[in-house]
Amino acid sequence: MLPTPRAERFPVNTPAASQIFTTVLSQGPLTRLEVARRAGLSAAAVTKAVRPLIEAGYLVEDADAQAPPALGRPANLVRVDGGRALFVGIKVTGDEIIGVLTDLCCRISVARHTALTSRDLTAVLAAVADVVQELRIEADGFGAPVLGVGIAVSGDVDRGEGTVRYSPFLEWHDVPLAELAGITTGLPVTVDNDVRALTVAEQWFGAGAGLSDFAVVTVGAGIGCGLVVHGRVVAGAHGVAGEIGHVTVDPSGPRCHCGNRGCVEAIAADAAILRRIREATGVEVADTTEAVRLAHSGVAAAREAYARAGEAIGRGIATVANLLGPERVIISGEGLAAYDLFAEQIRDAFTAAAFGSAARCDVQTRPLTFEEWARGAAATAIQSFIRADT
């Protein structure tokens, strides 16, 4: 977001034009008329907005257009030329930095993992700069410029300011990360919360494309949730939003690190599942892979732990659906590796707890590799580049 020297700028500033570009970006190849309809504009406006974008190389006409049973003049499909520009997305965790290089359509071409030896700001900054530098070298092979960097951090992040207000994992307070990383990398940097970044990726390049109200629920080490309401990601007045992990599902349940009992996260997060298996069997379980294996081999305690987790998640999703009435909920995260172990419970608990037609909400799952978190960061960088506030 910072003014970085000689950075290439998107050749469009009007709200309508950036909305048109966004529509093409997220809703695949479209005819100009169809773009006009979906963006609520006239066909003329689309024609006028599209031309400079084609000239600048961001849009192309799809020559090999599939011709649906057409009457009248055949339509010319317009799509984004993903290869026109590249972006870097970075996910910072407590002990690792994951970087990806994506094109303008947020397709990953290269990924890099780097272990983090220290959580000091300077160490993280250096590691980030290293990863960005490596990916820029890779980028040379693609013949397109890298136009921005997105960094995703868990915790309380002010994207507008580009600061990390508080990160429990990194133990940072009020770090102006966008500015600092902008200096070390020489590129425009966008910083956002990791779950919100993932939500942006779904909104523009995933299962949320074209929807104005949906939710993303991540299952894994923690239980997170990104919300899109009225077409915009919810940020929360005080930096807190989407804390589905701390919705109470059982006041007499296990204690959560937040101090309450029976939070979704205290039942369905990886550590909670491992703990429950240990408490039931007395056997220490190393990691989730092991836990999944146990469950699949029929160990009752493991199966039961996953069933309870599924029920908690389903209830949490129902709570979101009851309050916001989203069109769709996308369940994602590393925890989905065990999806078959709790899919049924999620669905049953959701259906039972959803009120009235909130149950008509479409609940989907989407597998998630760890690089997807970094891809979310890239999505925020793309969003900032286009500077669409939608």
Residue 158 binding partner per list a second copy, DNA, none, with a CB distance cut-off of 5 to 8 Å that depends on partner kind: none
Closest listed residue to residue 223, CA positions, set 112, 320, 296, 294: 320
Contact 365, 340 (CB under 8 A): no
Please say which residue, 133 or 248, places its beta carbon nearer to a second copy: 248
Residue 330 binding partner per list a second copy, DNA, none, with a CB distance cut-off of 5 to 8 Å that depends on partner kind: none
Please say which residue, 13 or 117, places its beta carbon nearer to DNA: 13
Q: How far is the CB of 310 from a second copy (least distance, A)?
A: 15
Can you tell me which of 71, 117, 238, 298 binds a second copy, judged by CB under 8 A? 238
Mapped onto helix, strand or coil, the DSSP state of residue 151 is strand
Can you tell me which of 319, 332, 345, 383 binds a second copy, judged by CB under 8 A? 319
Among positions 49-108, residues that touch DNA (CB under 7 A) are 49-51, 70-77
Contacts of 390 (CB under 8 A, 6+ apart): 18, 19, 22, 231, 232
Binding mask 357-386 for a second copy (x = CB under 8 A): xx-xx-------------------------
Q: How far is the CB of 145 from DNA (least distance, A)?
A: 24
Q: How far is the CB of 31 from DNA (least distance, A)?
A: 4
Radius of gyration of the chain (CA): 22
Can you tell me which of 259, 284, 286, 298 binds a second copy, judged by CB under 8 A? 259
Please tell me the count of residues contacting a second copy according to CB under 8 A: 46
Please say which residue, 67 or 237, places its beta carbon nearer to DNA: 67
Contact 130, 113 (CB under 8 A): no
Angle CA 375–37–40, to nearest 5: 85
Angle CA 27–143–135, to nearest 5: 85
Which tokens sit at 75?
A: 């339509």
- Side chain identity at residue 84, one-letter code: R
Which tokens sit at 337?
A: 């590796």
Contact 114, 129 (CB under 8 A): no
Residue 213 binding partner per list DNA, a second copy, none, with a CB distance cut-off of 5 to 8 Å that depends on partner kind: a second copy
Closest listed residue to residue 346, CA positions, set 259, 260, 219: 219
**Site for a second copy contains 325 (CB under 8 A):** yes
Q: How far is the CB of 327 from a second copy (least distance, A)?
A: 4
Alpha helices in 157-224 (DSSP H): 177-185, 194-205
Pairing of strands 328-332, 214-219: parallel
**Site for a second copy contains 300 (CB under 8 A):** no
Pairing of strands 146-153, 86-92: parallel
Q: How many residues does this entry show for the chain? A: 390
Among 123-131, 170-178, 189-197, 241-249, the segment contacting a second copy (CB under 8 A) = 241-249
Please say which residue, 15 or 57, places its beta carbon nearer to DNA: 15
**Site for DNA contains 118 (CB under 7 A):** no
Can you tell me which of 1, 33, 60, 343 binds DNA, judged by CB under 7 A? 33
Q: How far is the CB of 67 from DNA (least distance, A)?
A: 8
Residue 238 binding partner per list DNA, a second copy, none, with a CB distance cut-off of 5 to 8 Å that depends on partner kind: a second copy
Contacts of 109 (CB under 8 A, 6+ apart): 86, 100, 101, 102, 103, 138, 142
Please say which residue, 93 or 248, places its beta carbon nearer to a second copy: 248
Closest listed residue to residue 147, CA positions, set 331, 378, 316: 378
How would you label 189-212 residue by residue, b for 16+ Cβ within 10 Å and e otherwise? bbbbbbbbbbbbbbbbbbbbeebe
Mapped onto helix, strand or coil, the DSSP state of residue 47 is helix
Among positions 187-216, residues that touch a second copy (CB under 8 A) are 213
Q: How many CA atoms lie within 13 A of 118 on its CB side?
A: 6
Can you tell me which of 1, 324, 337, 343 binds a second copy, judged by CB under 8 A? 324
Residue 33 binding partner per list a second copy, DNA, none, with a CB distance cut-off of 5 to 8 Å that depends on partner kind: DNA
Residues engaged in binding DNA (CB under 7 A): 13-17, 31-34, 40-45, 47-51, 70-77
Residues engaged in binding a second copy (CB under 8 A): 156, 213, 225, 227, 229-230, 232, 234-244, 246-252, 258-260, 315, 319-327, 352-353, 355-358, 360-361
